Chains A and B, each alone.
Chain A
């Protein structure tokens, strides 16, 4: 299992036929959905399915998360209680608007971990931000708990909340994407790019993933298996990028070995941010199966 969260594939939590295939598409994470993909009459059934699936058939090749229902629904508490008992890697909380939302979830997870004899802090949190207030509070949300590992934008609900007009290339959500990326990096968690729902538009999707990567996103939520390899392709360094990164890291290590404060490559000074970017490139290359 690699250490990256390039792709987070949503799978309906009430469809056993789809659940058993969830881990075969190569996504870094699978998220079983108890929220939008499940009707209000089947919330109990979805919970039981995900619980038994994770007990009997938990995938070993990817991380597993569960998108629970929002805190203002009657399903939230039971979702948390039943899911923590089977120890997913993370719970994804929709409609996160304030740091208090995260602190409440943290408290409930802590209580459930204790009751189930699970090591404290095992179950992490990813927050989905999908309102104007949530975007405004993005940094406070991202830094509200040590369990936080990522924040992501829920674009459709955000557009509705903001009374935005939807464009094909998502110009209207640019500011929110920038802010989510900024807040996540400031808080030391991962920024996850929004779901591109038109999975038949491959060209538009790839352009969107590239743009998100340019803005600093480290991964993307996806709703269709066909989107997984496309995201990985964008996040896989090219041979040129990889070669350059190797040279930068080698120059850095050589300078460190000589106790030299100055790192240079091909007659140019290399600053620490360039070294860090090169290290990130190597990590992505490794996760993508490239020869280092």
Chain B
């Protein structure tokens, strides 16, 4: 997934955490998940991302998730922070 300098990041590459790269814009929601457990938990991770995007009414966005075995709370938190940072960057 390619990003411009409008993209924001949140999180770390430590075990139990995740790194979120997020850029507002485009057409629809593009979500890419990189995780060792993607086969088993990919859909659950996607649902966590969608919960936050819905909460902030973000419909046009590109998100890359680099997951290091994060639990749901961490995924939702990191995506929320990334969304807020991106909105702040756009002055919203």
On chain A, the residues within 8 Å of B70 by CB distance are 16
Contact of B16 among A17, A44, A51, A56 (CB under 8 A): A17
A45, B82: Cα distance in complex, Å: 8
A20, B15: Cα distance in complex, Å: 12
Q: Mark A44-55, 1 if CB is under 8 A from B, else 0.
A: 110011011101
> CB-nearest residue of chain A relative to B10?
A45
A30-69 contacts to B (CB < 8 Å):
44-45, 48-49, 51-53, 55-57
On chain A, the residues within 8 Å of B35 by CB distance are none
Contact of A49 among B72, B74, B84, B85 (CB under 8 A): B74
Number of interface residues of A (CB under 8 A): 14
Interface SS majority for chain A: helix
On chain A, the residues within 8 Å of B11 by CB distance are 45
On chain A, the residues within 8 Å of B17 by CB distance are 15-17
B88 to chain A minimum Cβ distance, whole angstroms, is: 9
Q: A17–B84 contact, CB under 8 A?
A: no
**Is B14 part of the contact surface with A, judged by Cβ < 8 Å?**
yes
A57, B80: Cα distance in complex, Å: 17
On chain B, the residues within 8 Å of A53 by CB distance are 73-74, 77
A57, B16: Cα distance in complex, Å: 15
Interface SS majority for chain B: helix
A223 to chain B minimum Cβ distance, whole angstroms, is: 19
Q: B77–A51 contact, CB under 8 A?
A: yes
Q: A15–B14 contact, CB under 8 A?
A: yes
On chain A, the residues within 8 Å of B80 by CB distance are 48, 52
On chain A, the residues within 8 Å of B85 by CB distance are 44
Q: A56–B78 contact, CB under 8 A?
A: no
Q: Which of B14, B76, B77 has the most CB of A within 10 A?
A: B77
On chain A, the residues within 8 Å of B10 by CB distance are 45
B45 to chain A minimum Cβ distance, whole angstroms, is: 14
A66 to chain B minimum Cβ distance, whole angstroms, is: 14
On chain B, the residues within 8 Å of A15 by CB distance are 14, 17
> CB-nearest residue of chain A relative to B14?
A17
**Is B81 part of the contact surface with A, judged by Cβ < 8 Å?**
yes
Q: A44–B84 contact, CB under 8 A?
A: yes
Question: Footprint of B on A, CB under 8 Å?
Answer: 15-17, 20, 44-45, 48-49, 51-53, 55-57
Question: Footprint of A on B, CB under 8 Å?
Answer: 10-11, 14-17, 70-74, 76-78, 80-81, 84-85
Can you give 29 contacting A-B residue pairs, CB < 8 Å?
A: A15-B14, A15-B17, A16-B17, A16-B70, A16-B71, A16-B73, A16-B77, A17-B14, A17-B15, A20-B16, A44-B81, A44-B84, A45-B10, A45-B77, A45-B78, A45-B81, A48-B78, A48-B80, A48-B84, A49-B74, A49-B77, A49-B78, A52-B74, A52-B76, A52-B77, A53-B74, A55-B73, A56-B71, A56-B73
The 10 A-B pairs with the shortest beta carbon distances in the complex, nearest first, are A17-B16, A16-B74, A52-B77, A56-B73, A52-B73, A48-B77, A49-B77, A45-B81, A48-B81, A48-B80
